Chain A
Amino acid sequence: MQGSSRLVLAHFWAAFATFAVAIPLGAWQMLVRSPLHQWIPPELYYRAVTAHGTTFAYVFPTLVAMGFGYAVCSVSLGRPMRGLPLAWVSFLLVMAGAAMALAPVAAGNANVLYTFYPPLLGSSYYYLGVLLAVIGSWIWIGLMVWHFRRWKIDNPGLPVPLAMFATTVGALLWGWTSLGVSAEIAFLILPNAYGWTPTVDPGLARLLFSWTLHAIVYFWLIPTYISFYVLLPQAAGGRLYSDKMGRIAFLQLLIFSMPIGLHHLFVDPQIGAGFKFLHAVFTGMVAVPTLLTIFTICASLEIAGRLRGGRGPFGWIAALPWDRPFVLATGLSLLMLGLGGASGLINMSYVLNSTVHNTQWVTGHFHLIYGGSIVIMYFAIAYELWPRLTGRPLAAPKLVRLQLWTWSVGMVIVTLPWHLVGVMGQPRRMAYYDFTNSALASQGIWVSVSAIGGFVLVFSAALFIGVLLASHRGPAAAISPLKFSLAVNPPRRLPKSLNSFGIWALLVLALTVANYGYPLAQFVFLNKSAVPAFPVSQNDRR
């Protein structure tokens, strides 16, 4: 990968190292709150949830997105990446931030969960660490945007390769949406933690967090979608159905992912229902690029299938090379996306949301869509990149397939019962439940099933790490270079609207002002709503 292999590998190894620790934590959490285990003193549970959530929200996906971004940048632009020293600084800042945040968590001084809703207050190092990791990633954003613009200047009038275009979308989106949690930490929480402001407004904090909370999952999603568009068709032996639709989908993700965060606050008392409805409408819009992507990707797969001799309306499905990891992963990902996307549509449905808000349905939903559809493609990307990064072929293709299957099956076993107990009314974030009570007894068996699924995931995670380790240490061989998929009709020229971001960035800004302007501004004149902090640490007594 022309000099950036070590950079990409560092990001991926760091990401998967955190993954290797946080997955068993998750399985343990599921076990101890199930009927399969007696109740534990709750502090340890919340400590684990904070560690697991912080890792999977702020560390793991950021590292994957950054690493994959560098890989795309190096390969798709046809020339080596520049600014490597800056990229390494960025990596180190992210890792330093992660360490700074996770150390107090491990010590039990930051049991605030990754959502850290003030006025709960943990160790200030926790927030500093998260902020540092986020700010470190902004260097990556700068590098992606710089490379995008540099290439355009050097190749006037030519379409920017889709992979780079989409990566830049992800970078811009992350830059804009990370401002919410950064502002919350920098201007609300830390000043209060250090005693510069005596109180903190929990309504404003939740509002700022909602700015980040939805679009961050699209930041995680974009590497997955990029891989659908630029790696899958090639892996399946076909072509991308429409390059243009890919750009349209990514642009819609850029525009609609962020100004919809109030759908996390549907039942909050600090926002008027008019704005809640406004965000609900725009949340409906963010389903569009996903639905367009599903069509385009299925069509691309159909091309590959028919090229391999598939006949009839569905014969092409069987003809696809399912033994190839990327194709298998995509199929499994799309199945989980169908399930998880459907439950997401319930969440956004304004009124129906109150049936599921803060029940285990929500937790089931985002584990399915993130841990399932998104992360399985992270595995696929890793498997695809590994030979090119290490110069060694992937070890044990059979184990790779087993790993992908066990991950999917495990994820479905974990999350489907989870949705069910949510509908049965089980609240989130409790260390244990009294399943002897008749109203809760029927939930018990499903929680146990989920817990068992958790251990299937641990097995799959171990396989994944094992395959990567074995591949890294295998014998060197000649590896074909990474190539991105060709479209059926590769564009020779593109209109400005599909090849640049200037105007779209203005639209994002305008929508942000429209959708978040008043809800934020109202805090200037709302009084009485700020409250003193409540430290969570057991070492911080009054």
Chain B
Amino acid sequence: MSTLPHDVIEESERRWAYVVAGVIGLMFAVIIFSSVHWAAQPPSNVETIDASRLHLAGEFVEENLGTAVQPDGSVIVRVIAQQYSFVPSCIIVPANAPVVFRVTSPDVVHGFLIMGTNVNSMVVPGFIAEVRTRFDKPKDHLMPCHEYCNVGHEGMWAHVKVVDRQEFTKSYGGQPRASCAG
């Protein structure tokens, strides 16, 4: 093919490679920018915990589950994901406050996402999953388990109720660990 000499082909491929490098570079830039400026990044704490003994002692005993208000106004929500429910099954959080979810499992791998938000995490037994977020407005969200955890997986749905700050303090402020699980 005399009309397509080798170096013409090479040159076109090289130009395309620059385009590709540019596209990939742009993606990296966007990722880095959003990570730096919105402090958004995947969970990073590695904490282990004895999965079989959660209810006996430590952070995930029954009385310690639920929403705990911190002195600085943020909340920590401690949840257990088990076959086949989340505890508490109805999670109450105030709007416009930093929220930290700390979740673990006594049995198998679960996961959860909060529909309508980007809260999304695996829950691996033996480890504590921590997700940080903020809910902008009062709303009810569904929170399904999203990893197969054996035959009851499709039944594993919790609810997250976001209420405004005043209502939260009025209705739930008195409890050391709040939930709307009834």
Are these two chains actual partners, yes or no? yes
> Chain A residues near B118 (CB, 8 Å)?
354-355
Contact B124 A269 (CB under 8 A): yes
How far does the alpha carbon of A440 sit from the alpha carbon of B118 in the complex, in Å?
17
Known contacts A202-B126, A292-B17; A270/B46 CB under 8 A: yes
Chain B, residue nearest A44 (CB): B151
With beta carbons under 8 angstroms apart, the residue of B40, B119, B122, B146 that contacts A427 is B146
Q: Are A345 and B27 in contact (CB under 8 A)?
A: yes
Min C-beta distance of A244 to chain B, whole Å = 8
Asked if A37 CB lies within 8 Å of chain B CBs, one says no
B24 touches A269 (CB 8 A): no
- Of listed A268, A272, A274, residue having the most chain B CB within 10 A: A268
Could you count the A-B residue pairs with CB atoms below 8 Å apart for me: how many are there? 210
B54 CB to closest chain A CB (Å) equals: 11
**Is B4 interfacial (CB-CB < 8 Å)?**
yes
Beta-carbon contact of A429 and B121 below 8 Å: no
Q: A351-B42, A359-B146 are in contact. Are A425 and B113 (CB under 8 A)?
A: yes
Stretch at the interface among A214-222, A279-287, A456-464: A279-287
1/0 per position for B81-99, CB-CB distance to A under 8 A? Answer: 0010000000000000000
Partner pick for A488 among B4, B121, B151, CB 8 A cutoff: B4
Residues of A bordering B, CB below 8 Å: 42-43, 46, 111, 113, 115, 117-120, 201-203, 206, 239, 241-242, 244-245, 265-274, 276-277, 280-281, 284-285, 287-288, 291-292, 295-296, 299, 303, 345, 349-351, 353-355, 357-359, 424-425, 427-433, 437, 439-440, 488-489, 522, 526-532, 534, 536
Within 8 A of A (CB), among B7-28: 9-10, 12-13, 16-17, 20-21, 23-24, 27-28
Question: A428 — which chain B residues lie within 8 A by C-beta?
Answer: 146-148
CA of A295 to CA of B118, assembled, Å: 35
**B1 contacts across to A, CB distance below 8 A:** 239, 303, 488-489
A118 shortest CB reach to chain B, Å: 8
Interface size of B by CB at 8 A reads: 70
CB-CB under 8 A from B130, the residues of chain A are 269
Chain B 30-49 against A: per-residue CB contact (8 Å), 1 yes, 0 no?
Answer: 11001100101111111111
Asked if B64 CB lies within 8 Å of chain A CBs, one says no
Instruction: Name the distance in Å between A316's Cβ and chain B's nearest Cβ.
Output: 14
B107 touches A119 (CB 8 A): yes
Cross-chain contact of A267 among B9, B16, B42 (Cβ < 8 A) = B42
How far in angstroms is the closest Cβ of chain A from B13? 5
What separation, in Å, do the CA atoms of A472 and B148 have in the docked complex? 42
- Contact between chains at B31 and A349 (CB < 8 Å): yes
User: Considering the chains assembled together, what is the distance between the CA atoms of A470 and B116 in angstroms?
Assistant: 51
Chain A residues with CB below 8 A from B17, complex form: 292
